[in-house]
Amino acid sequence: MMKAKSLIKLVLVVFSLLAVANSSQLNAQDHAADGKDITKSNDPIVLQRADPFIYKHTDGYYYFTGSVPTYDAIEIRRAKTIEGLQNAEPFKVWEKHESGPMSRHIWAPEIHYLDGKWYVYFAASEEDDIWKLRPYVLELKGQDPLKDEWVELGMMQAADDDPKSFTDFSLDGTVFEHNGKRYFCWAEKTGGQFAASNLYLAEMESPIKLKTVQFMLTTPDYDWERIDFWVNEGAAVIKNNGKIYITFSASATGASYSMGMMEADENADLLDRNSWKKSRYPVLETNEEKGLYGPGHNSFTVDENGDPLMIYHARDYENAVGNPKMVPATDKRPLEEIKADPLYDPNRHARMMEVKFDNNGRPVFEFY
């Protein structure tokens, strides 16, 4: 009799544990289970994906990519809805080299469809020189980004008469079209890792080469752009009401990370500094009340109705803790210094928000 009671207790315990495990899995994977619409909240749409980028293609799918926590590969996933991306299977479409160019710090990939072909733009450095970051390009030999072969086209090329572009720490390249021209916008530090990171803009000749000499769009001018590091990076483009806007991220990658914005008339010369006006203050920054820290490195897409959405990353806590396993072996800093480096904290999650506009048509970014 005692053995039978013990067996019954054991079965009940097992069923209880299974129920808890199943409940946890549902809560983690399906926010709709508790009545919360993930597309109307500050919750992550994809966990541990910094520098998120979403492109909605003509096939009706959303294609998502971003920096994987290990900084060693490029993954792409797709879904029919933004909400579906959280459970979509990630496809590893490319992996870093063992040495030489493209062997370390695989950062901020973006997927674009240009002239009937798929391209991925990303930054990478070298195992023996981890801050030798440069922009590189992949091209798809086919039409299915998840299944067909991606080939390396090499480094992004400067215009023939431009001796400066991509000669130093360069990253965060993005592509956009405006008034019949295609542009490349990227961040570059002239003077090594600890110099100021500026945003540059140039017209493109082809998907892998610039047509014009680099034009400096913005440099860190204000205090909120100079916290720990002087940074302007992570550009993204949105248009509205006769204006073109370029958002960007500023300062170090911890809680001080924030978003600024440049704007110009849609008919202005985009390669003329006088065409652009810069926001005096951040347009999005840490909100302790909402529990969102270091929002930035955004991209833009549209929802199922064609309304604009912003995709960005942010942490749930203020004090980032670097994971030593993510740090290159050539990084000889003390362990405590590495743990204090937010760059190696993997919990920058991809999130989204609706883009609203004020009475003048300027985009407004507000947490839910």
How many alpha carbons fall within 13 Å on the CB side of residue 329? 4
- Tokens (6 digits) for 179: 């008034």
Compute how many other C-beta atoms are within 10 angstroms of the C-beta atom of residue 241. 10
161 belongs to the catalytic site? no
Q: Out of 51, 172, 263, 285, pick the active-site residue.
A: 51
Q: Are strands 363-364 and 356-357 parallel, antiparallel or unpaired?
A: antiparallel
Q: Are strands 62-67 and 73-79 parallel, antiparallel or unpaired?
A: antiparallel
Closest CA to 234 of 303, 150, 296, 315: 296
- Tokens (6 digits) for 121: 């733009």
CA distance linking residue 341 with residue 226, whole number of Å: 16
CA distance linking residue 72 with residue 75, whole number of Å: 10
Q: Which helix (H) or strand (E) holds 350?
A: strand 349-354
51 belongs to the catalytic site? yes
CA distance linking residue 169 with residue 99, whole number of Å: 18
Closest CA to 197 of 107, 116, 313: 107
Q: Out of 75, 126, 233, 285, pick the active-site residue.
A: 233
- Tokens (6 digits) for 42: 């500050």
Catalytic residues: 51, 233
